[in-house]
Amino acid sequence: MSEPVSRESLAQSLRHALHVSPELVRGVGLTLAIGVVATAGRVAVPFTLRETVDNGLRAAGGPDPEHVEAMVAVGALGILLTGAAGYLMNTRMLKAAENALAKMRTAAFRRIHRLPLTSEDAERRGSLVARVTTDIDTMSTFLQGGGLVLVLSLGQLTVATVLMLAYSWQLTLLVWLCFLPLFLWLPSLQRRVARAYAAVRARMADMMSALSEAIAGATAIEVFGAQAHVRHRVDEAISQHEREAVRALGTGAAGFSCGVLLSGLVVALIVGVGGWGAFPGLTLGELLAFVFLVQLFTVPLQYGTEMLNDLQNAASGWRRVAAILTASPELPEPPVMPGPRRELPPGPVAVRLDRVVHAYAGGEPVLHDVSLELRAGSKTAIVGETGSGKSTIGKLLTRLMDPTAGHVLLDGTDARDTPLATLRQRVTLVPQDGFLFSGTLLENLTWGRPHLTSDQVGEALRELGLDDWPATLPAGLATQVGPRGQNLSAGERQLVGLVRAHLVDSDLLVLDEATSAVDPALETRLRKTMDAASRSRTLVTIAHRLAAAETADLVVVVHEGRVVDCGTHTELAERCADYQRLLAGWTRRGTAGASDTEGELP
């Protein structure tokens, strides 16, 4: 599956990254100045070498030990200065990089939570995790190991060239002519490297997705004996990443290898030509100094290609992160208008759907011209066959997504004109598969209201008739639920969702088959309690059992994305063929497996 990736050029990517994370360049002037001092310390070595040889060891009156000692001291001082300046520069670079990237991770994570639900369903979770982790890690590697060093290397290249010209313009020209083919080849090489590392980042995301799915679905894999199939998928994802990584590294290594080869050849050529005496005015000390300057000249070229590889890898990672940071949220906040913001009035919420049409991205409409009105404080059951559009209506009521056409009105106000923070406080959806986080049962029950105490939770459990449930668990409310609630049964996980919703105390509660894993007897108990507790709210149930429809004030029948009838259970059982068919199916299932007697907690 293709993933959204920014198509920015390298320069655009760098500018965008600096705009998003200005911390990257905060204090860069001082860091650069320290780097210049470090570079100057390296230049001191060839200078002291020339002085030591020409005016110390080969002085006119014989060797001059004092001059040699002075030059050795100057050289040692230059080396110490270089080391100290390099340490300070790297420390500042590391702190700035990690500070900026930590904020970038936070921004990317928060942005992911504002992405459209359709995008999160389409783009696998492992790929999103890769964007917050490994893709940003590539930027960290570059910034810590090569960002500012790449800039200083260009400065070192310039300084070395100027000093070489001071000794011999002919040898300097020879050096540049030797490296000219490499300079001309580098732009083409970097384009190939950029494409190669873009492929590496994409394959890394695929590998993360395959691994995360295999780990999260370990139980299902074991139950269905699908180990061989899953191993093949994971092995193929790993192999594809390996192939792309080897190809990218091979492409980048070509530039590094050429730089090393040319460096050795140039040094040998300079020693040969200078030693042969082609330039009589060049002293031995100057020749040795020139050779050291050639090393200063070639080292940036050798490692510059490797740093450019890191730069391309970082840029590829950034483009993937930028696609998240710049993605438009599907649920925009209403525009800020003069005067007080529109808020929902307190109390149960009246709901109206006005000619609603909805289609998921790239698909055909799943709802067609749906119009519906639900009284404030009413109990409504929405029924229909699998795939009829019931859950889509639930998501639109709670504004987890917006309709393609038409309006969803809450207390007469379009849901899009109500601040999202208000909606999340006043409107709640309890899905069929509620997500549980690692931690205790108490922590999961109070996820929407973390300030609540265990006594308040206990009171809520008593209101729902579930006060005996914690006693059946090993440590009561302190029981560890495990990753994704794996230590609880499916029914118990659904109970967590119901208790959460009750604790949030919203004014519009939508239950999307939220008790499908609970046994019918317990569901009957829960429904009576929920009905009693829902007198101060509007309750909408996506129904999967007869009991929900029987006790509802209004039953809405949905078939192939259209509302085909509305009424009470009794009315629809007499006149609506679609409802009669559903009723017959419920009756058959109830006769086969349900019991009207009091049931135990799941």
Residue 597: pLDDT band by 50, 70, 90 thresholds?
very low
Same-domain status, 484 and 362: yes
pLDDT one-digit tens code per residue, 444-488: 888 878 888 888 888 888 888 888 888 888 888 889 988 878 888
User: Are the C-beta atoms of 418 and 412 separated by less than 8 Å?
Assistant: no
* Whether residues 321 and 371 fall in one domain: no
316-363 residue pLDDT tens: 777 778 777 776 666 777 776 555 566 777 888 999 999 999 998 778
Q: Are residues 300 and 414 in the same domain?
A: no
Query: Structural domain of residue 509, as residue ranges?
Result: 351-593
- Over residues 283-302, the mean pLDDT reads 83
Q: What is the pLDDT of residues 142-171, one digit of tens each?
A: 776 665 666 677 778 888 888 888 888 888
Average pLDDT estimate for 194-220: 78
pLDDT at 556: 94
Neighbours of 412 (CB within 10 A): 9
Which residues, at least 6 apart from 175, have a Cβ–Cβ distance to it below 8 Å? 164, 266, 270, 294, 297
Residue 69 lies in a domain: yes
Distance CA 247, CA 195 (A): 11
Confidence of residue 601 (pLDDT cuts 50, 70, 90): very low
- Helix, strand or coil for residue 541? strand
Work out whether strand 554-559 and strand 379-384 pair parallel, antiparallel, or are unpaired.
Answer: parallel
Asked whether residue 397 falls in the same domain as residue 514, the answer is: yes
Could you give the number of structural domains in the chain? 2
**What is the predicted pLDDT for the residue at 596?**
40
Q: What are phi and psi of 186, to 5 degrees?
A: -60, -45
d(CA 383, CA 373): 16
User: Does residue 428 sit in helix, strand or coil?
Assistant: strand
C-beta of residue 159 within 8 angstroms of C-beta of residue 39: yes
Q: How far is CA 194 from CA 149, 205, 319, 427, 471, in A?
A: 20, 17, 11, 47, 60
pLDDT tens profile 429-444: 888 777 788 888 898 8
- 589 band by pLDDT with thresholds 50, 70 and 90: low
- Structural domain contains residue 502: yes
As a whole number of angstroms, the distance between CA 498 and CA 505 comes to: 11
**HSE, side-chain direction, 13 A CA sphere, residue 106:** 8
pLDDT digits (tens, 9 = 90+) for 515-569: 665 666 666 666 666 665 566 789 999 877 777 788 889 999 999 999 999 999 9
pLDDT band at 599 (very low <50, low <70, confident <90, very high): very low
Last residue of a domain, one of 325, 342, 365: 325
| Residue 413 host element (H or E) | strand 413-414
For 399, other C-beta atoms within 10 Å of its C-beta total 20
DSSP state of 480: B
Q: Which residue has the tokens 């709670």?
A: 398
> What are the distances in angstroms from CA 151 to CA 31, 147, 154?
11, 7, 5
Single-letter residue type at 576: C
Structure tokens at 229: 């199939």
To the nearest whole number, what is the mean pLDDT of the chain? 79
Q: What is the dihedral of CA 446, 448, 449, 451, to 10 degrees?
A: 70
Give 397's pLDDT tier (boundaries 50, 70, 90): very high
pLDDT given at position 559: 92
Name every residue whose Cβ is closer than 8 Å to that of residue 16 and which is 6 or more positions away in sequence. 6, 8, 318, 322
Claim to verify: residue 70 and residue 124 sit in the same structural domain: yes
If you write DSSP's letter for every residue of 63-97 in order, what string do you get? --HHHHHHHHHHHHHHHHHHHHHHHHHHHHHHHHH
The reported pLDDT for the residue numbered 297 is 84
Q: What are phi and psi of 256, to 5 degrees?
A: -65, -45
**CB-neighbour burial class of residue 276 (10 A; exposed 0-12, middle 13-18, buried 19+):** exposed
pTM of the model: 0.64
Give domain status of residue 345, yes or no. Answer: no
Note whether 458 and 583 are same-domain residues. yes
212 falls within a domain: yes
CATH classification at residue 570: 3.40.50.300
Q: Which CATH number fits the domain that encloses residue 268?
A: 1.20.1560.10
* H or E element, residue 509: strand 508-512
> Does the residue 1 lie in any domain?
no
Return d(Cα 313, Cα 198) in angstroms, integer. 7
Q: Are residues 387 and 269 in the same domain?
A: no
Does residue 261 sit in the same domain as residue 375? no
Is 336 inside any structural domain? no
Which of 118-122, 184-188, 195-199, 474-478 comes out lowest in average pLDDT?
Answer: 118-122
Per-residue model confidence (pLDDT) at position 371: 94
User: How distant, in Å, are the alpha carbons of 255, 363, 386, 510, 546 from that of 582?
Assistant: 69, 27, 11, 21, 9
Please answer whether residues 287 and 273 qualify as being in contact, where contact means their C-beta atoms are separated by less than 8 angstroms.
no
Same domain, 15 and 150: yes
User: How confident is the model over 248-264, as a mean pLDDT?
Assistant: 79
- Does any domain span residue 215? yes
Cα separation, 559 vs 113, whole angstroms: 32
What's the rounded Cα separation, in Å, for the pair 88 and 398? 54
333 part of a folded domain: no
Beta partners for residue 428, in sequence order: 509
Matching residue, tokens 């890898």:
313
In a shared domain, residues 286 and 371 = no
488: nearest Cα among 429, 433, 441, 432 = 441
| 303 lies in the same domain as 360 | no
Q: Do 355 and 320 lie in a common domain?
A: no
DSSP H or E segment with residue 245: helix 227-276
What average pLDDT does the segment 205-210 reach?
81
CA torsion angle 59 63 64 69 (round to 10) = 120
d(CA 345, CA 374): 16
Strand order in the sheet with 538-542: 427-430, 508-512, 538-542, 379-384, 554-559, 562-567
Higher pLDDT, 371 or 111: 371
